[in-house]
Structures are given as C-alpha cells and as structure tokens.
Structure 1
Amino acid sequence: MTARIPLPDGWADRPFRVGDALDAGVGRSRLRSGDLDRPFWGVRIPAASQGAGPTVNGGAWVPVRRAELEAMARALLVRMPPGAFFSHATAALLLGLPVPTRLARLRPVHVGVPAPAAAMKARDIVGPSVRIEPDDLVDRGSLRLTGPARTWLDLAALLTLGELVAIGDHLLYWESPILTRDELADALEKYPSRRGLRLARTALPLLRTRSESPRESLLRVIIVLACLPEPECNYNVFDDEGRFLARGDLVYPEYKLLLEYQGDHHRTDRAQWRSDIRRVGRLEDRGWQVLQFTDDDLRDPTTLVARISRRLRAKGAQL
C-alpha cells in the first residue's frame, strides 16, 4: 500500500482551506484521501477530529453533543469572513439552551455577518447580514457567537410562543440565572425592527424564574393562554402538620390540585415509576388531586385545558 503524502507541518490536527492547501503544494488527490473529511465546501479536516456523529438525548430536546457542534463550528472558521459570528439555533446550542428537536441539528449552521457586509452564502450555511452591536456578541474559546439575550431574540423568528417561553425560563432560572428579564427587555428595545419581535414581546411577560424543564413551561403557557388561573411553578406541598409531601411541577395550592408533566423516564425507570406511585398516594391521602400529562396531551391543548377546567370547577374555582 502506498503511504499517504504527509500534510504540511501543523495541518494534521486542524481544519484548513482547500485553496490554502493547493497553494502549499498539496495535490488534489491528497485532498480526496480517506483520512480527510469535508465538513463544508472548500474545507478539509482530519477525520479523527470529527467525533462520533449525532446522538439523541432521551428527552428529545437537544440531540447533538455540544463538543461535536463546536468541532464543526471551528472547521467553518477558516471560511468565515471577518466579523462573522454564529447565531440563531447554532448559537443557542453552543450556549447550551434547550432548543426544540427540529432545530437541534448540526446542519445547517447559522452564521451572521454584520451589516452592511454581504451574507455568507454556501451549502449548509444560513444567515443574513444583520445589524448587531459588539456587546451583543460573546466569545467561547475561538468561536464568536450571539450572546444569550440576542440569541433569544433571534430565536423568536423560528420558534412557537411556548418554545420561546421555555428558553426564556431557562435563561431566568432562579438558581443559576444566565441573564435578567431587564436584559431581555433591553434587547427588544435595541432592535425594534427584528423579525419575530411581536412574538418576543408576547413571550416576555410570560417568563417565570422557577420553571425547571421546557415541557413544564409549555404546559404553563397553554394554561395561561386559555385564561385559566396561573399555577405556582415547582411548589413545595406540606401536610397540615408541616411535613413535606411533594414538590409539584405546577400547583394550585388553594384547590389542592397538582399538575405534572411525565416524561418517558417516569415510565422506563422502574425506581422512578415506583416513587411516583408512592408520591401520588401520599398526596391523595391528604386530599390533594394529581393530574398527569404527557407529550400527547401537549399536542392537544383543547382537551388538556378542558380537563384542567373541569377539575378546577369541581374544586370550587369560579371560571
């Protein structure tokens, strides 16, 4: 077997442009070798650095590993024009935000370019020329991307109201807030002509600081938009003697009604399944009622709302 021609010093462990390789004397046949991957047109990268491919996270919200996306983004840096940055879903994934499955993909990569420079046009790359202030960009190692507030605002053009609220809740979560509500409001004022601005303005007052999962946020938004009373988020329930009973996703303390989103792990994890049954029993023994919901319920909000309404009326709520 003929040995492969070595690449120039320092090229065997980093991305490089095909044009630069040709200028350095690397032949086209060498650039077609199996030890080099082609993440983007005009770019080569050592195959060993590409990672093991996408994986699905059981919760189905972020099915790509951030390290894998970072490697792909670094490969694209060699082709990006000066001042370009990662944006929209790509920035959200790099920031670790809970992007919905349909957007949590390695491709296409979202790349923004400061106006008035021309947008970057290439296969598997999307993104316009946009107006952006330097302080709305952050650096993650060698990668420059939109910061959390601008990313949330950009996502308003791609998400539903519930999905945008879910990401906003994640950003504001009280135990480890990434930013404040005021910072999101400032972003709305700074870019008054952004696509999706109306949805972002609707989402902002719906954000809460105690939601612990995207599905909880989606459930709460459905309830609020239906003009039902808003439940408490992740509320601790105690019995009459002050003993802790449970922590509920969404709770109506006045009516002793607790709403729970049940992901698949509540079904597939035997210990979790048994714990859930004991927990519901403790609550029911003390006069509480528990309504449980799954993804199927979230896809049928009319029936979901009717079910909650009936239970609230039975508990004495005037709706």
Structure 2
Amino acid sequence: MTARIPLPDGWADRAFRIGDAVRAGASTSRLDGGDLERPFWGVRAPAAFTDSSEGSRPKLPVRRSDVEALCRALQVRMRPDAFFTHVTAALLLGLPVPGRLARLRPLHVGCAAPGRAMLARDIVGHSMRIDPDDLVDRGFLRLTGPARTWLDLAGSLTLGELVAIGDALVQWRSPLVTLGELGSALDRYPSRSGIKQARTALPLLRTRSESPRESVLRVIIVLAGLPEPECNLEVFDDDGIFLARGDLVYPEYKLFLEYQGDQHRTDRAQWRSDIRRTGRLEDNGWQVLQFTDDDLRDPTALVARIRLRLSARGRA
C-alpha cells in the first residue's frame, strides 16, 4: 500500500483552509484523503479532530470538547473580528442549554454591526450591536461573555429555561457572572430581542440552585403564587444530627420537593440511598414530594399537588 504523502509540518493536528494547503504544496488529491475530514466548505481537518458524524449516531449530550473542535475548524474561515455567540457561546461556556437547542450544528457566529453576518452552510450568522467588553477569549476562541450570552438566548428560551441558565451563571460555588452584571447587560441593550423575558427572569435567579430541572420546578411554583421554597437547604433532627439536603425545601411545613432524574432509577446504589434518606426524613416528621419530567410537563397538576400538601401541613 502506498504511504500517504505527509502534510506540511504542523498541519497534522489542526484544521486548515484548502487554499492555504495548496499554496504550501499539498495536492488536491492529497486533500481528499480518508485521513482528513471536511467539517466546512473549503476546510480540512485531521480525522477525529471534529465530530462529523452527529447525524448518524444516537442523540447524546453535546460535549464541550466537540463544540470547541468544530469552532476551531470554522475559525480558519472566519473574519478576524468575528466571534461565537448565542447557543454556541453557551455550549462553549458549559451552560445547561436545553436539549432541543443543544446541537453541534449549526454554529452561531457574530460580527459587530453594521458588518455583514457570515453566510454559509451550517452557520447562523448574526450582525449585532456589541460592546468589545462583552467578548471573552476561551483559549483560541473568541465568544460573547456570560452576561451577553444569557441576554442573547432570552428570545429563544422559555422563562424556566432562561432562569436555569441564569442560575448556573450565578451559582455560588463557581459563579461566571454576578446578578449585578446581568442587570447591567439589560440596561446596555434595552432593545434586544427577548429583553422583556430577561427582565422577568432576573429577579427569579438564585445562587444556590444546582440543577436546571430544579430551577424550572422553582419557577413553576413561584409563578403559581405559592411561597418560594429554599434551595438546597440542609435539615437536621432535634439533636442537631444531619438528616438530608433537599433540592427545594419548605422548613416551616417540613416538606421536601425533589426532582428525580433517571439516575435515581437506574443507579441501584442511588436508589437504595434515596429510600434510606426518605425514611430518615419521615421518621422525623418530614414529607417528601417527588417529581419527574412528566410532572414538569403538567404544571397545573404539579402545583395542585404542592398546594394540597402545604394545606395539609398547616398553610392557610
């Protein structure tokens, strides 16, 4: 078997433009070799540099590393002043983008207005008014920063989804932005699409929320006019011994509200731990209400369950 002609030095581990490779001495037949992928028109990349098989494999959570690789491949075609934005920026920042939007393609690429938006297959181009301070660098990639990305997503997310991403941004353990910085972004761009939604979402954000579904559940409760439960509260028995930490807790009524993802069902150790934990709480006078994705799709019934349980435990 004939050995492949090596690529120019330094090109075997990065994406490159076809024109640049030809000028460097690579033949067009070499650029059609099976060891090279075609992530975008006019671009080649080493095989496995990008994940180009998204459409042929089962839908799995999008990995940040795959998004970064695809962005690096596109970057060789982008204008120097262009940047990644909207859903692509959110994925690069590691934010909990809802599954219906979390896809490798298309990539969202922005440029400062009045510049012309990038137009190409698998690209959503945006010409947008933006302050240079709203851009950040992640390695070799330039993208909209956390506050501006949150604001840009406001027009395409539900209120609960927007709060979930906002909660992730301000989460107290590793905040990417402050509530004040989000408020400043709203003030700087008062005519952005989704601004009304963002203004509604901002006062609903909480720094102690730890999962997107938990955030959505909390928003449903608050919008229904029920008292707001406390996020991730630790509770103890009368002797000060730790009992449990709850997603959403009404300490006055000794009521836990828990979102149960599939891992609570499929992980045997988790399932057993949950049963022991619920038993400890019930032995000390607490009650636990559990919810799944099906409940979140029927907010009316969900709220009715919580209201009934609160009433039974003394809420007028």
Q: Which TM-score band (shorter chain)?
A: over 0.9
1:249 aligns with 2:272: no
Aligned residues: 313
Instruction: Give CA deviations for 1:219-273 in whole Å, capped at 9, x if unaligned.
Output: 0000001111111111111122222111111111111111000111111111111
Aligned equivalent of 1:211: 209
Which amino acid is the alignment partner of residue 68 of structure 1? D
Alignment-derived partner of residue 45 in structure 2: 45
Kept after mapping to 2: 8 A contact 1:53/1:68:
no
Contact 2:114 2:127 in 1 (8 A): yes
> Which structure 2 residues correspond to residues 84-233 of structure 1 after superposition, within 5 A?
84-233=82-231
For 2:201 and 2:99, how far apart are their aligned partners in 1? 20
Q: Note if 1:29 corresponds to 2:24.
A: no
**Gap change, CA 1:17 and 1:52, over 3 Å in 2:** closer
Match of 1:308 in 2: 306
For residues 196 and 303 of structure 1, the distance between their equivalents in structure 2, rounded to whole angstroms, comes to 28
Kindly state the Cα deviation for residue 11 of structure 1 after the two structures are TM-superposed.
Answer: 2.2
| Contact 2:259/2:290 (8 A) holds in 1 | yes
Ranges in structure 1 where 5+ consecutive residues have no aligned partner? 55-59
Tell me the distance in 2 between the aligned counterparts of 1:186 and 1:148: 12
Q: Paired residue for 1:238?
A: 236
- Letter of the 1:180 partner, please give it: T
User: Runs ≥4 in structure 1, deviation > 6 angstroms?
Assistant: none
Q: Is the 8 A contact 2:255 2:288 kept in 1?
A: yes
Q: 1:57 aligns to what?
A: none
**CA distance in 2 between partners of 1:209 and 1:3 (Å):** 57
Mapped partners of 1:120, 1:52: distance in 2: 21
Between 17-26 and 104-113, report the one with greater CA deviation: 17-26
Contact preservation (8 Å) 1:165, 1:204: yes
* 1:260 corresponds to: 258
Amino acid at match of 1:270: R
> What is the RMSD of the two structures over their aligned residues, measured on CA atoms?
1.8
SS at the partner of 1:237? strand
TM-score, with structure 2 as normaliser:
0.94
Report if the CA contact (8 A) 1:15-1:74 is conserved: yes
Cα distance in 2 between the residues matched to 1:9 and 1:240: 70
Letter in 2 for 1:64: V
Partner of 1:8: 8
| TM-score calculated relative to the size of structure 1 | 0.94
In 2, the alpha carbon distance for the partners of 1:6 and 1:136 equals 41
